[in-house]
Structure 1
């Protein structure tokens, strides 16, 4: 089996374009993704909604997350044209019986393993969605152990500002290692509490978190 929890934490003073998607994929897989639309306000919200809808429409047709991102990119470019208002995204497919996880990224940073806080990278990270006709990515494959898990997140988390520093990947990785046994929803709540403690009301970018545990 598997457990998934996901949430978008809004920025303090504006609407952003972060989103997540969870849906049924091909060949018994579940498709999961997080994305971050460059820019703010209504245009970012519209692009976010379009990207998520495009992903929902193609999800049932492939268990290759890189192919899914490629199809979404075609939809974006055909609708809006190649644009500087691009979308970074990470997409995973997971098949619970074999515990096979496949990970692809388009202009997006690596996922993190819950147990170690270590980066989980795609075979080749493609360009962000909407920038060019081809994403040119390649997915990596990972076999999850029982209880193993993965965090997808947007950069509003690691780039959140505290009084003197940014939140950063080191703090995030250490926190995941310390609390490696938490259930996905508890992991989300723990990260939200720590982010609020660190950034207070200074959250200037929205944050999307998605946690999968095998």
Structure 2
């Protein structure tokens, strides 16, 4: 009976170890079927098998209460009992370590998952998939992430008054979290200034002063701002070193080029704006430099191809035009587009 009690104690020790290993196994993502899953499952089964064996042995000895079991001396049965009692604490310690390790691995996976989501969350703020519906205008947009983790391309669309609509697109030099933070600041500061000043050139001058005062001389920002005035029937445009926008007006495609230098280059830089008539059916196409700089060998996709696609089918829906442009650039390039690309098209309807 004493040996039966010893076997029962051993069964409890091994059972506790098996329970910890089972918790460790279940915490591991079983869908991956990696080494950690296989090892944890194997260790659990080994411990569970041993616990079951001692449980059966304890039950058999307790029931029979005999000095031998199937001819096996009780002294031989006492040996594994002694081993379990002697090394049981070590087994429990190892099982506890395995459980803690699996917990740390799960937390590490969660952190990595958050790191992977961060660029997408930033991109959703800088270049949202959904833009507001604006009466009297048809809007298309595309954002394509490059090979970097995070970048500084952005666009924006909002009313500055009941009859004035602002469209903005920009690109901060560099990649990473710093470029994204700067893009975020530029985007939302410009919202304030475009509501404060009717002329987008004045808004750019104020934005440039504000950014220069923050000491961001190592980060350059290209930006184009367009203000549609429905009452006046005009479009007013200002650009800080941004690639040319293309305007479909009066049955022709014309470029709207930069009207001042990149932001933060010179805190006292001057910007001008240009105003053109706005008719029903007119469309303006804005994009960041990643589109024109798509490369096939030594050849660039280029501004002329962009203008040619607009000229070929100026009546195409704005959203279809944006998607066609990004697909054409991808087909042209011999590798994945390395830089982020943002495209924004607005048509007066």
Does TM, scored on the shorter chain, surpass 0.5?
yes
Q: Deviations over 1:96-145 (max 9, x none)?
A: 243310000111132102453431236xx212112221230110001122
Q: Residues of 1 paired with 2:281 and 2:306: CA distance?
A: 19
Please state how far the C-alpha of 1:35 moved relative to its aligned partner.
0.6
Report the equivalent of 2:154. Answer: 19
Aligned to 1:52: 187
SS at match of 2:152: coil
User: RMSD between aligned alpha carbons?
Assistant: 1.8
Q: Which moved more, 1:131-140 or 1:3-12?
A: 3-12
* Matching residue of 1:147: 281
Query: Deviation at 1:94?
Result: 0.3
The CA deviation at 1:167 is 0.5
Q: Is the 8 A contact 2:297 2:334 kept in 1?
A: no
Deviations for 1:53-75, whole angstroms, at most 9, x for unmatched residues? 11122222222111111122122
* Distance (whole Å) between structure 1 residues aligned to residue 284 and residue 175 of structure 2: 28
**Please, which runs of 5 or more residues in structure 2 have no aligned partner?**
1-135
Question: 1-side partners of 2:203 and 2:161: how far apart?
Answer: 11
Conserved in 2, the CA contact under 8 Å of 1:54 and 1:72? yes
Structure 1 residues 191, 208: CA separation in 2 closer, same or farther (over 3 Å shift)? same
Aligned mates of 2:321, 2:233 — CA distance in 1: 21
Partner residue in 2 for 1:196: 330
Counterparts of 1:14 and 1:159, CA distance in 2: 19
Q: Which residue of 1 aligns with 2:256?
A: 120
Q: Aligned pair 1:5/2:152, yes or no? A: no
**Aligned-partner SS, 1:23:** strand
After superposition, the C-alpha distances for 1:126-173 in whole angstroms (9 at most, x for unaligned) are: 121122212301100011221011111111111111245110111111
Task: Select the structure with the greater relative contact order (CA < 8 A; seq sep ≥ 6).
Answer: 1
Structure 1 SS opposite 2:239? strand
Once the 2 structures are TM-superposed, how far is the Cα of residue 197 of structure 1 from its aligned partner? 1.3
Residue 318 of structure 2 contacts residue 346 of structure 2 at CA under 8 Å; is this kept in 1? Answer: yes
Measure the CA separation in 2 of the matches of 1:71 and 1:28. 23
Pairwise mapping of residues 13-162 of structure 1 onto structure 2 (< 5 A)?
13-26=148-161, 28-78=163-213, 80-81=214-215, 83-114=217-248, 116-121=252-257, 125-162=259-296
Give the conservation status (yes or no) of the 8 Å contact 1:99–1:145: yes
Indicate if the aligned counterparts of 1:25 and 1:62 stay in contact, CA closer than 8 A.
Answer: no
Structure exhibiting the larger radius of gyration computed from Cα positions: 2
Give yes or no for contact 1:32–1:91 (8 Å, CA) kept in 2.
Answer: yes
